[in-house]
């Protein structure tokens, strides 16, 4: 199993395929870009670590030290707390069974904000904080675009939920996520989604403050809106996560370019079906995931675009089908199939970095700043992933 860099696997020609690769140069550049935006907007960053799920990648988020993070699982919370990230928001609605692990983290000195959108949840969080005699700061989820959970900013029940939390010392603030921004088509639509996201969060916060309920955190973010927002007045923090790697969905939206994509999967050619126009590889959906996020975009990129081992795009070659351990590459726009003998290694750029990364135990890391390699790019490091729940 390709779980560590062995002495015989010092380049991308080494490990058995398929395996995930991260270009740390692009990751650094993507992180710096959002950091500069946040600084310009005068807002703190609380990156979501659910995409990379890597302590090594997270070390690049805050200039090498720990910093505020958002997590999608308690396994992430525990792993990141263990590495010194003591300011954590668990951004999935809380349920009672998960509170003991949250409380255990709090007792270790970690701040863990929980998320909720109902009186039912506020009541059991308040009770747990009282019973355990710990701080359980809670964020009320605000629905800005009908994407998933949350309360509309004008929901009748909002002040009552905040009151339950406040009376127990648990009210921290509000949080929203513009999930529908993934379906925007233009930069103007993304800017509008970012304004709407901010307006919803700020309106909810102002409504609570007007009712005498103190709101500290006003948290917004999605990768598309984080890169489009032009004014975040009233917002205290910005969340985004996918930007550490970006992917074809984000490139299709115009949030990034193809040369910003930091995650790819190295695969090997294992067969040819010239009569069908197919090149077969050993990278199927087990390596890429079943995610077909670009299927809903104007340019469907199949299961991914293909580069050579150096990361140079092979024009018009697309991974169009996937079995468990087989990928099918085909040419589009009438392009001929390139000559790729059995054993040739390629890299596939994924639709959705979060989903593709989740299929792997970790990442072999290359540094694109070193320029094209004459043989195969050197492997600089191995970054393991946090897995499970």
Which residues bind to its own copies, rule: CB under 8 A? Answer: 1-3, 16-19, 50, 72-75, 92-98, 101, 117-118, 120-121, 143, 146, 148-149, 179, 268-273, 276, 280, 282, 285-287, 289-292, 323-326, 328, 341-343, 352, 354-355, 358-361, 387-389
What minimum distance in Å lies between the beta carbon of 16 and its own copies?
6
What minimum distance in Å lies between the beta carbon of 230 and its own copies?
26
Q: For residues 385 and 357, is the Cβ–Cβ distance under 8 A?
A: yes
Nearer to its own copies, 43 or 79 (CB): 79
Q: Which helix (H) or strand (E) holds 163?
A: helix 158-167
Backbone angles phi, psi at 284, to 5 degrees: -105, -155
Q: For residues 330 and 320, is the Cβ–Cβ distance under 8 A?
A: yes
Nearer to its own copies, 217 or 351 (CB): 351
Nearer to its own copies, 43 or 57 (CB): 57
Nearer to its own copies, 75 or 258 (CB): 75
What minimum distance in Å lies between the beta carbon of 167 and its own copies?
20
Nearest Cα neighbor of 267 from 285, 290, 294 is 285
The answer to whether the Cα torsion of 224, 230, 236, 237 is positive or negative is positive
Backbone angles phi, psi at 339, to 5 degrees: -75, 105
What minimum distance in Å lies between the beta carbon of 39 and its own copies?
28
Nearer to its own copies, 95 or 230 (CB): 95
What minimum distance in Å lies between the beta carbon of 389 and its own copies?
6
Outline where DSSP puts E strands in 155-262.
Answer: 171-176, 217-220, 237-238
Strands 138-142 and 111-116: parallel
CA 207/CA 256 separation, integer angstroms: 36
If one counts every other C-beta atom within 10 angstroms of the C-beta of residue 210, the result is 9
Backbone angles phi, psi at 277, to 5 degrees: 75, 30
Q: For residues 46 and 239, is the Cβ–Cβ distance under 8 A?
A: yes
Q: 345 forms bridges with which residues in the sheet? A: 268
What minimum distance in Å lies between the beta carbon of 64 and its own copies?
27
What minimum distance in Å lies between the beta carbon of 162 and its own copies?
17
Nearer to its own copies, 37 or 243 (CB): 243
Nearer to its own copies, 143 or 367 (CB): 143
């Amino acid at each position: 199993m390709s779980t560590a860099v062995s002495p015989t696997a010092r380049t991308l020609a080494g490990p058995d395929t398929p395996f995930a690769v991260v270009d740390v140069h692009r990751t650094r550049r993507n992180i710096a870009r959002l950091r500069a935006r946040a600084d310009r907007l005068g807002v703190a960053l609380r990156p979501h670590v659910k995409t990379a799920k890597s302590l090594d990648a997270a070390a690049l988020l805050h200039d090498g030290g720990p910093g505020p993070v958002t997590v999608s699982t308690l396994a992430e919370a525990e792993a990141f707390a263990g590495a010194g990230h003591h300011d954590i928001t668990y951004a999935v609605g809380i349920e009672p069974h998960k509170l003991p692990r949250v409380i255990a983290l709090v007792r270790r000195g970690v701040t863990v904000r929980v998320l909720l959108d109902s009186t039912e949840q506020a009541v059991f969080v308040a009770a747990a904080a009282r019973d355990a005699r710990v701080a359980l700061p809670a964020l009320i989820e605000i629905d800005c675009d009908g994407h998933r959970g949350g309360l509309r900013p004008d929901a009748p029940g909002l002040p009552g939920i905040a009151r339950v939390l406040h009376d127990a010392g648990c009210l921290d603030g509000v949080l929203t996520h513009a999930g529908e921004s993934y379906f925007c088509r233009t930069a103007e639509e993304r800017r509008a989604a970012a304004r709407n996201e901010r307006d919803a969060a700020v309106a909810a916060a102002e409504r609570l403050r007007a009712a005498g309920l103190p709101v500290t955190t006003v948290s917004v973010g999605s990768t598309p809106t984080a890169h489009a927002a032009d004014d975040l007045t009233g917002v205290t923090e910005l969340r985004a996560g996918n930007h550490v790697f970006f992917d074809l969905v984000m490139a299709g939206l115009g949030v990034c370019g193809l040369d910003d994509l930091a995650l790819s999967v190295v695969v090997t050619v294992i067969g040819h079906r010239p009569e069908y126009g197919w090149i077969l590889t050993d990278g199927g959906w087990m390596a890429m995931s079943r995610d077909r996020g670009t299927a809903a975009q104007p340019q469907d990129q199949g299961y991914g675009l293909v580069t050579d081992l150096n990361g140079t795009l092979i024009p018009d070659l697309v991974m169009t089908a996937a079995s468990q351990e087989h990928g099918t590459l085909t040419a589009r726009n009438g392009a001929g199939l390139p000559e790729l003998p059995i054993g040739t290694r390629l890299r596939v750029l994924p639709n959705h970095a979060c989903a593709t990364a989740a299929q792997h135990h970790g990442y072999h890391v290359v540094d694109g700043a070193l320029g094209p390699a004459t043989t195969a790019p050197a492997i600089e490091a191995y970054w393991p992933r946090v897995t499970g729940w």
